[in-house]
């Protein structure tokens, strides 16, 4: 069916319209332990991921993010933020773009790359925390 490759599953739409853990306003309002920032020069998307870490258990207590990106990047990062909460840093690093895509019910194929941006920002935040 023509145009079917642009159809977004309901869960993607829900995460785009009501993004989870989005950081509204000034970053100073969120007490974070590390931040990761990445960008995609091809599409122009930018992503910042802020994490709070429980130092005793090495788990992600809380996560917030900001983006300049499309609906797929917003939905994917919203989903990732939900998946990462409560995980150890090592477990969070294992969350793949495919895990995010599966959680959302599959992005359109040409938008799959959007699920990578949040993952890369989370990876950088964890690396920065460990430094």
Residues with a catalytic annotation lie at 43, 114
Quote the CA–CA distance of 44 and 88 in Å, as a whole number: 31
Reference 59, options 51, 49, 69, 67; nearest CA is 51
Q: What is the DSSP letter of 112?
A: T
What six digits make up the tokens of 7? 């159809």
Q: What is the DSSP letter of 48?
A: E
């Amino acid at each position: 069916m023509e145009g079917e490759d642009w159809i977004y599953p309901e869960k993607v739409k829900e995460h785009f319209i009501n993004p989870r853990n989005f950081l509204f306003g000034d970053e100073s309002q969120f007490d974070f332990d590390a931040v990761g920032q990445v960008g995609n020069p091809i599409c122009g998307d930018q992503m910042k991921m802020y994490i709070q870490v429980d130092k005793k258990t090495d788990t992600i207590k809380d996560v917030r993010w900001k983006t300049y990106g499309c609906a797929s990047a917003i939905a994917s990062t919203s989903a990732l933020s939900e998946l990462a909460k409560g995980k150890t840093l090592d477990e969070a690093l294992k969350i793949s773009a495919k895990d995010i895509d599966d959680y959302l019910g599959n992005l359109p194929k040409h938008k799959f790359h959007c699920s990578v941006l949040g993952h890369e920002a989370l990876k950088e935040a964890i690396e920065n925390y460990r430094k």
